[in-house]
Amino acid sequence: MRKIAIINQKGGSGKTTTTVNLAASLAAKKRKVLVIDLDPQASTSQWFGVTVVEKGLLSVFTENVPLASVIASTESPGIALIPSSSWLIGLEKALANEVGAETILKQKLQALDTKSWDYVLIDCPPALGILTINALTACEEVIVPVEARIMAVNGLVQLLQTVDIVRHRLNSSLKISGIVPCRVDSRTRHSKEVVDELRKNFSELVYKTAIRENVRLSEAPSFGKPINEYDPNSNGAHDYKALALEVIKQEQALS
């Protein structure tokens, strides 16, 4: 079971779009995927049409509730979801005096039946707070979507430092599986410059696949479907399929 945190502290970088559509493209390749929505904004949960009004995931963090009890099914074949809850907003405060709060998700994930899923993808909030740190501690891998419309390199340096700190203090097996340029607009020179800059600075860490700007991707959440169901012939569907194939290729190196 590969556990991958999808992180970027910058808002609107493509985390949720990548989580949902990578999950669906992996599922289309017969991988069983558990998606965890760790963002109190609950965008991934809304995309799958699953929302919770109760404490949900918050009770997993603050009470003796197992992860298995909050897993929901989705209409997308091969994908199960642990939905977010707006109650998660209060988590930072709730855990302020809790010893070892960074490792709660790791322990809860370890108690899950690992044979049920090939992949766990965790959509993180746009912050490097306790939720993201929990994801980084629970996972072996990180995928970083980067919005290629802005100069993103500075923020990435801070992100990579945080990953380094977590690796040293909490999780020695953590590694960056890849950086994904998102919202790439091939018509603008600037977008191309950002992708070139990413490849120059982070070389082999950057996936070969770049996700192009595609209006179908931004429409898909309103229809409650991943892009490969909403518009299988769109650029967005092609790009996320290509990304999934690259991610699947990494399985060989891990086994």
Binding site for ligand ATP (CB under 6 A): 8, 11-17, 39, 41, 43, 126, 182-183, 211, 213-214, 217-218
Which residue is nearest to Mg ion, using beta carbons?
16
118 interacts with, out of ligand ATP, Mg ion, none, CB within 5 to 8 A per kind? none
Give the number of other CB atoms < 10 A from CB of residue 176.
17
Strand partners, 34: 80, 120
Report which residue type is found at 42.
Answer: A
> Under rule CB under 5 A, which residues in 25-44 are in contact with Mg ion?
43
Instruction: State the binding string over 38-77 for Mg ion (x if CB under 5 A, else -).
Output: -----x----------------------------------
- Describe the chain by its helix, strand, coil percentages, rounded to 5: 50, 15, 35
The whole-angstrom distance between residue 29's C-alpha and the CA centroid of its chain comes to: 18
Cβ nearer to ligand ATP, comparing 110 with 213: 213
Shortest separation between residue 68's beta carbon and ligand ATP, angstroms: 26
162: contact with Mg ion by CB under 5 A: no
Please report how close the Cβ of residue 220 comes to ligand ATP at its closest, in angstroms: 8
d(CA 138, CA 108): 9
Contacts of 158 (CB under 8 A, 6+ apart): 9, 128
Structure tokens, 39: 């963002």
Shortest reach from residue 7's CB to ligand ATP, in Å: 9
